[in-house]
Structure 1
């Protein structure tokens, strides 16, 4: 029995005996837990600061991008307004150009019309003058021929005494 009791005491002292176990497989779990605890305590502040600064940078970048988007939208709206104004100005210029073209064409038309009217008036006047000159020439020629015929008839039908009397009468009429 003594051996039984010795065995129990030996077993009980082994149970309550705390000693460092050098077996690497049995102690790994404790080492990992201790390592994680130490890392958590030591790296906590570093990670917190790093993540906070990173979060702030991301928030600043997002805010900057939103500001740039707002600025870009404002510039786009301003560009659209300017485009609309330029479009209105171009339409006005085109209308003015069309009006100017019409006015110039009317002016050229009127000037050409006046020039042609003057030229036609001058041509008609020249034709009337030539017609009158030709008519006067024809009348003169007809009068000459008629006078020559009358003179020839008178010469043939009247004698010298009668011719002298007619000539004297005509000279007397001219003198009066």
Structure 2
């Protein structure tokens, strides 16, 4: 029993209810346009099924295509994420190497600067010691010159006053002793 059979059964029951004074349907087929409605429903069912089936198939294929594209984009995104994470790991490793190299360079530069500073301090000490020695030599030379000048003045003054024979003999003996004779 199809749809038309069901419609006829309902119409029959409604007619019985109307004849008893209640609610019912009119069974005059020409007046109620049941045939027209049955034809319309049949045509809609026959042609609508194809249209709806085609529409649903198109929609299904569109959805499947969209899902495939989304899955492909997700795979591509996962690949790109993996590549970016690899690059990040490499960049972090390079940054660590650069930091270690910079620390090593700073350490060696510091040691070189300290060594150079120690050399400079030692050179300054040596220069200061040489300058001090030079000043001491100059002061001693000046003192010697003053002593020699004073000795000469004293010798001249004694020569002018005259030297006694004893003093002259002692001076000659000393000079001979100094000369090695």
What's the TM-score once normalised by structure 2's chain length? 0.67
Equivalent residues, number: 153
Which residue, out of 79, 94, 97, partners 1:92?
97
Deviation at 1:104, TM superposition (A): 1.5
Which residue, out of 37, 44, 65, partners 2:42?
37
60-69 vs 113-122, greater mean Cα deviation: 113-122
Q: Does residue 1:82 correspond to 2:87, yes or no? A: yes
Per the alignment, in what secondary structure is the counterpart of residue 140 of structure 2?
helix
- 1:102 and 1:39 mapped to 2: Cα distance? 90
For structure 1, the residue ranges without an aligned partner over 5 or more in a row are 1-19
Which residue, out of 91, 112, 115, partners 2:117?
112
More relative contact order, 1 or 2 (CA 8 Å, 6+ apart) = 2
Structure 2 counterparts to residues 14-93 of structure 1, below 5 A: 21-23=29-31, 26-27=32-33, 29-93=34-98
Per-residue CA distance 1:15-35 (angstroms, 9 max, x = gap): xxxxx8542xx22x3322221
Per the alignment, in what secondary structure is the counterpart of residue 40 of structure 2?
helix
Q: RMSD value over aligned CA atoms?
A: 3.1
- 2:81 and 2:58 mapped to 1: Cα distance? 34
- 2:141 and 2:51 mapped to 1: Cα distance? 130
Moved over 3 A (4+): 142-158, 161-176
Question: What residue is the counterpart of 1:141 in the other structure?
Answer: 146
Question: What residue is the counterpart of 2:7 in the other structure?
Answer: none
Structure 2 counterparts to residues 5-20 of structure 1, below 5 A: none
Q: Which has the larger radius of gyration?
A: 1
Question: What residue is the counterpart of 1:13 in the other structure?
Answer: none
